[in-house]
Structure 1
Amino acid sequence: MVDQPASPPQLLLLATGGTIAGRSANSTSLNAYTAGAMTGSELLQELPQLQEVAQIQLAQLTNLDSADLQFQHWIQLVKRIRECFAVSPELAGVVITHGTNTMEETAWLLELLIDDPRPVVLVGAMRPATALSADGPLNLFQAVQVAGSSQARGHGVLVVMDGQIHGARAVTKVATQGVGAFQSPDFGPLGWVDDSGVHLPVATGSRSVPFATLALPLQWPEVAILYGCVDPSLAMVSALFNAGVKGLVWTGTGAGQLSAGERDAIKTWPGVLPLMLRSSRCGSGPVHPSELQDELGLLPAGTLNPQKARILLLLVLIAGMERDELSTLLASIAINA
C-alpha cells in the first residue's frame, strides 16, 4: 500500500494593504509609491509556489496604508479571525498582509484578544511590490510556511519579516529603511524560517489571553500618548486633561521619568485623572515601579513601548477595569513575556 502524501494545510489569508501591496512608478522607486495598490489576489498570482505549501482562502478586508487604519478595521479583523477559528476546525492558521508602520500594534491587539493555539501571522514588506529586489514575495511565502507549521502552534500572534519570527509582545519596527527593520528588543526573535523549514522551540505552558471574550464596541475610549523631552509643553497636558481623555501613556525620558513640571500638572489637576501608564522613549529596557511616580497614579508599563501600552489601556478601559486590576494585569503580562 502506497502512502498518500499529506494535503497542504488550509490557511486563511486576510489582506489589508500596506507596502507589500504597493506600486511605484518605476522599479527603482523605494520611497515614492502607493501603498495598498494591489489586491490580495494579485499578490497570490505572483506567488504560484504557494500552491505547494498551503490551500489558501483569501479575504480582502481593506486595502490601505497601515497609518490610516482605524478602530473599525481592528473590529472587523478580530471578528473575522474569531469566527473562522470557531467554525473551521480544519483551518491551520491565519496570515495577515499588513503595512509595516502599525503592524506591531495590530499584532499586539490580536495577541490580547485571540485565544486559540493556531497561529496568526502578520507579514509586510519594506519595499513595494514593483521594486527591484522586493522583499514582499519571500516574506509572504515564509509567513505561509510559518502559519501552516505545527511548530507555530501555541506561540500566539507572530510577525514574520526578513526570515525572522517575532512574538507580538516584543516586536517593533526600528528603522525607516532596509528589509531588516523589525526587531524584538530585550527578547530577540522567537525563531526563523528558511528553505529548510520553520525553526521554533516547542511552546510551553498556557498562553495568557486576558481579553479573549471581550466584545469590542463601535465607539472606543480616547487614549493619548505624550512624549517626554526637555521643557515639555504643559499646555498639551492641560489640553488632554480638559478634553477628558480616559487613558494617557506618558513616554518618559530614561526609565520612564516625568519632569517636575509634568508631575506638578498631575498633582494640581482638580478633576478626575485618566488611567495612566509610564513607558519610555528609549526603545529598549524596562520601566520599573517608582515611588515618586507611582504616588501620582501612574503605573509602569514594563517593557511595553508607548504604542503597545496605549493598546493595553484601550482594552482595559473597554473592559471597565480599574487601576488595581490594571496593575495585576501588568504583572501577569510580565510573567508571561
Structure 2
Amino acid sequence: MGEPAVQRPALLLLSTGGTIAGSGATSTQVNTYAAGALSGDALLAAVPELQQLATIRVEAIASVDSADLQFAHWRLLVARIREAFQTQPDLAGVVITHGTNTLEETAWLLQLLIDDPRPVVLVGAMRPATALSADGPLNLYQAVEVAIDPQARGRGVLAVLDGEIHGARAVTKVATQGVGAFRSTGAGPLGWVDDAGVHWPAAAGAPMVPFAALPLSSMWPQVAILHGCVEPPAALIPALLQAGVQGLVFTGTGAGQLSAVERTAIDQWNGPLPLMLRANRCGSGPVHRCADHARLGLLPAGTLSPQKARVLLLLALIAGYTRADLEGELQRLGLMAV
C-alpha cells in the first residue's frame, strides 16, 4: 500500500498588484518597472516550494501600483475575506500580495473590519519580480508559512517582509529602497521567520475589531490629511471646510502640535466642524490630549500614523460616529487615555 496523501492546509491568496508583481525591462532595474504586471498565479508558479506548504487558491482583486489603490478595491477585499471565512471553515487563512506604498493602510483597515481568529497576512516586495535578488518570492513563501502556523491565530492582521512579522497597528514603511524597509515603530516586530520556521517570542493578544459588522457602501467620506510645517497656507483649511470634507487629520509638528495659523482657521470657521484627529510627523511617539486642541474639537490619534488615523476616521464616519463616539473608540483601542 502507498503512503496516505498529505492533507495540506487550505489558503486563499488575493493579489492586488504592487512591486511584488512588478516587471522591469532588465534584471538590473529595481526602480523602473511596471507594478502589478504579473498575475497571482504567476507569483505562485515562481515559488514551486509553496505546493509543499498548502493548497492555495488564487484570486485577483486588482493589478495596480498600491499608490493607485481605491476604496472600491478595499471593499472587494473586505467582502471577499468576510465571505471566505464565513463559508470555508477549513480555510487556514488569507494571504494578500500588495504594493508596499500603502500596505500599512490596507493592513490597518482590515484589522478594524475582519473579526476572525484566522490570520490575514499581507506581503509585498521592494524589488520587482524580474530583478536580480528579488525579495518577493521568499517574502511570499514566508507569508504562507506564517498564515498556516497555528500560533498565528488570534494575532490579527499581519504583514510579513524581510523575515519579520509585523502587526497591522504598528507596521510602517520607513525607507524608499532596500529590502528592510518596514518597521513596527514603538513596538518592534511580533516575530520572525527563518529556516527553522515561524517564531513568536510573545503569546498572542487578540486585537480589537471595532467595525466587524460595518457594511461598506460604494460612497466613502472625504477625509484629508494636512501636513504641519512652517507657516502653512492660511487658505487651505477654509477651502477644505467650504468644500465639505467630513474629516481632517492633522500631521502636527512635534507631538501633534498645530500652528497658530491652523488653530485660527478652525476657530474662525462658522459652520459645523468635521471629525478631526491629531497625529504627528515625527514617525514615532504618541500624541496625547491637549486642552487647547480639544476646545477646537480635535482628538489625539495616539500612536497612529497620519495615514492610519485617516483609515480609522473613514470607518468612524461610515459608521456615523459623533465626536463623543470617536473619543470613546480611541479610548477602547488604547490610543487615548480615559
User: TM over 0.5, yes or no?
Assistant: yes
C-alpha RMSD over aligned residues: 1.6
Q: 5 Å matches for 1:241-280?
A: 241-280=241-280
The answer on whether the counterparts of 1:151 and 1:201 sit within 8 Å (CA) in structure 2 is no
Q: State the secondary structure of the residue aligned to 1:43.
A: helix
Deviates more, 1:107-116 or 1:57-66: 57-66
2:82 aligned partner: 82
Q: State the secondary structure of the residue aligned to 1:42.
A: helix
**In structure 1, distance between residues paired with 2:93 and 2:75:** 19
1:11 aligned partner: 11
Q: Which runs of no fewer than 5 residues in structure 2 stay unpaired?
A: none
2:325 aligned partner: 325
Q: 5 Å matches for 1:163-182?
A: 163-182=163-182
Q: State the secondary structure of the residue aligned to 2:86.
A: helix
The answer on whether the counterparts of 2:155 and 2:205 sit within 8 Å (CA) in structure 1 is no
Tell me which amino acid in the other structure corresponds to 1:32. Answer: T
**In structure 1, distance between residues paired with 2:201 and 2:318:** 34
Q: Normalization by structure 2: what TM-score?
A: 0.97
**In structure 1, distance between residues paired with 2:108 and 2:233:** 30
**In structure 2, distance between residues paired with 1:205 and 1:129:** 35
The answer on whether the counterparts of 1:11 and 1:57 sit within 8 Å (CA) in structure 2 is yes
Q: State the secondary structure of the residue aligned to 1:29.
A: coil
**In structure 2, distance between residues paired with 1:298 and 1:4:** 62
2:32 aligned partner: 32
Deviates more, 1:221-230 or 1:327-336: 327-336
**In structure 1, distance between residues paired with 2:162 and 2:10:** 23
**In structure 2, distance between residues paired with 1:335 and 1:300:** 8
**In structure 2, distance between residues paired with 1:227 and 1:178:** 26
1:207 positional shift: 3.0
Q: 5 Å matches for 1:216-227?
A: 216-227=216-227
1:204 positional shift: 4.2
Which digits, 9 at most, give the CA deviation of each residue in 1:34-68, with x for residues without a partner? Answer: 00000011111111100001110110111110001
The answer on whether the counterparts of 1:153 and 1:203 sit within 8 Å (CA) in structure 2 is no
Which digits, 9 at most, give the CA deviation of each residue in 1:190-246, with x for residues without a partner? Answer: 000111111124644543110000000100010000000000112111110110100
Aligned length: 336
1:293 positional shift: 1.1
2:129 aligned partner: 129
**In structure 1, distance between residues paired with 2:97 and 2:66:** 10
1:107 aligned partner: 107
**In structure 1, distance between residues paired with 2:234 and 2:112:** 33
Segments ≥4 residues shifted beyond 6 Å:
none
1:285 positional shift: 0.2
Q: State the secondary structure of the residue aligned to 2:334.
A: helix
The answer on whether the counterparts of 1:279 and 1:301 sit within 8 Å (CA) in structure 2 is yes
Q: State the secondary structure of the residue aligned to 1:193.
A: strand
Tell me which amino acid in the other structure corresponds to 2:172. Answer: T
The answer on whether the counterparts of 1:250 and 1:279 sit within 8 Å (CA) in structure 2 is yes
Do structure 1's residue 312 and structure 2's residue 312 form an aligned pair? yes
Deviates more, 1:1-10 or 1:178-187: 1-10
Which digits, 9 at most, give the CA deviation of each residue in 1:252-276, with x for residues without a partner? Answer: 0000000111111111101111100
Do structure 1's residue 94 and structure 2's residue 94 form an aligned pair? yes
Q: State the secondary structure of the residue aligned to 2:333.
A: helix
Sequence identity percentage: 66
The answer on whether the counterparts of 1:169 and 1:304 sit within 8 Å (CA) in structure 2 is yes
Tell me which amino acid in the other structure corresponds to 1:264. Answer: T
2:188 aligned partner: 188
**In structure 1, distance between residues paired with 2:324 and 2:3:** 58
Q: State the secondary structure of the residue aligned to 1:76.
A: helix
Tell me which amino acid in the other structure corresponds to 2:182. Answer: F
1:4 positional shift: 5.4
**In structure 1, distance between residues paired with 2:308 and 2:61:** 23
Q: State the secondary structure of the residue aligned to 1:41.
A: helix
Q: State the secondary structure of the residue aligned to 1:264.
A: helix
1:53 aligned partner: 53
Q: State the secondary structure of the residue aligned to 1:116.
A: coil
**In structure 2, distance between residues paired with 1:203 and 1:7:** 27
1:295 aligned partner: 295
The answer on whether the counterparts of 2:67 and 2:101 sit within 8 Å (CA) in structure 1 is yes
Q: State the secondary structure of the residue aligned to 1:58.
A: strand
Q: State the secondary structure of the residue aligned to 1:257.
A: coil
The answer on whether the counterparts of 2:158 and 2:165 sit within 8 Å (CA) in structure 1 is yes
Which digits, 9 at most, give the CA deviation of each residue in 1:56-112, with x for residues without a partner? Answer: 011011111000100000000000000000000000000000000000000000000
